[in-house]
Amino acid sequence: MQAIDALTTRYSAKTLQEPAPDQGALRLIFESAVHAPDHGRLRPWRFVVVRGAARERFGELLAQHLQRTHAAANEEALQRERAKALRAPLIIVVAARCSRDVKIPVIEQQLSAGAAAHAMMLAAFALGFNAMWKTGGAAYDEALRQALGLTIGDAIVGFLYIGTPAARPAIAAARPWADLVSYWGEAT
Ligand SMILES: Cc1cc2nc3c(=O)[nH]c(=O)nc-3n(C[C@H](O)[C@H](O)[C@H](O)COP(=O)(O)O)c2cc1C
């Protein structure tokens, strides 16, 4: 697939299934991530791969987060959280590990992690896979971050759910952009 086709046709599939990217495809996905723009060459990215049976333990972390934040959550709601972890065969947790003692603002380091996440989604898409970018309250939960081996101060920018789309995409809705653009300084 041409890069421009990946950029202009990427979408998030509704349902993902096996196969997940194998090690060769994962290598290309991570190669894409580390080509994200990175002010100061700080490499402010961390990637945690969750796959196979580890997804069930990840689902348990999501359920524990819900329980901590919504004490009244019933078993059905907890089960829904657990099931989220199984909606794709592979999850990549994308985090920003920002340096505070440099002149590059933290927001720029976090934006770089967001750019890395987008690059990974596009790489997955170009390789015939699909990725969904999710967050939710769990992404901002310190206990969950620590359970994933991340450190205090790391920011999870997204959970990328990656797999093979279960169905062919419907006809894509148009995505207008002209109203978002202005041409400053040009005569009208
Ligand atoms: C930082 C970020 C967090 C997101 N979190 C969620 C989320 O928790 N749940 C969700 O349904 N969509 C979330 N989205 C949006 C979807 O990933 C997706 O972009 C959106 O549904 C539009 O679909 P598309 O990718 O086909 O354009 C998030 C997007 C971004 C950039």
Contact 161, 131 (CB under 8 A): yes
Choosing from 10, 12, 175 the residue with most ligand 1 atoms within 8 A of its CB, the one to mutate for a pocket test is 12
Q: Is 152 among the domain residues?
A: yes
Cα gap 171→159, rounded to integer Å: 26
List the residue whose alpha carbon is closest to atom 20 of ligand 1: 12
Amino acid at 57: R
Q: Is 11 among the domain residues?
A: yes
Contact 151, 100 (CB under 8 A): no
Q: Is 187 among the domain residues?
A: no
Ligand 1 pocket check for 135: Cβ under 6 Å: yes
Q: Is 185 among the domain residues?
A: no
Cα 131 to ligand 1 centre (Å): 10
Please report, for the domain that includes residue 165, its CATH number. 3.40.109.10
Q: Is 167 among the domain residues?
A: yes
Q: Is 186 among the domain residues?
A: no
Cα gap 29→43, rounded to integer Å: 16
Cα 64 to ligand 1 centre (Å): 23
Residue 19 dihedral angles phi and psi, to the nearest 5°: -85, 155
Q: Is 157 among the domain residues?
A: yes
Q: Is 188 among the domain residues?
A: no
Query: For the segment 141-185, what is each residue's pLDDT rounded down to a tens digit?
Result: 999 999 999 999 999 999 999 999 998 877 888 999 999 999 999
> What are the Cα distances from residue 103, in Å, to 35, 99, 111?
21, 9, 15
What pTM, to 2 d.p., does this model score?
0.96
Q: Could you tell me which residues are beta bridge partners of residue 3? A: none
Angle of the 106-126 helix axis to the 23-33 helix axis, nearest 10: 140
If one counts the domains in the chain, the total is 1
pLDDT at 161: 98
Cα 72 to ligand 1 centre (Å): 27
Could you list the residue range(s) of the whole structural domain that residue 111 is in? 3-180
Cα 129 to ligand 1 centre (Å): 17
Which segments in the chain show pLDDT lower than 50?
A: none
Ligand 1 pocket check for 132: Cβ under 6 Å: yes
pLDDT at 47: 98
Query: H-helix or E-strand containing 26?
Result: helix 23-33
Q: 117: Cβ–Cβ under 8 A, 6 or more apart, which residues?
A: 33, 94, 133, 157, 158, 160
pLDDT at 187: 85
pLDDT at 171: 83
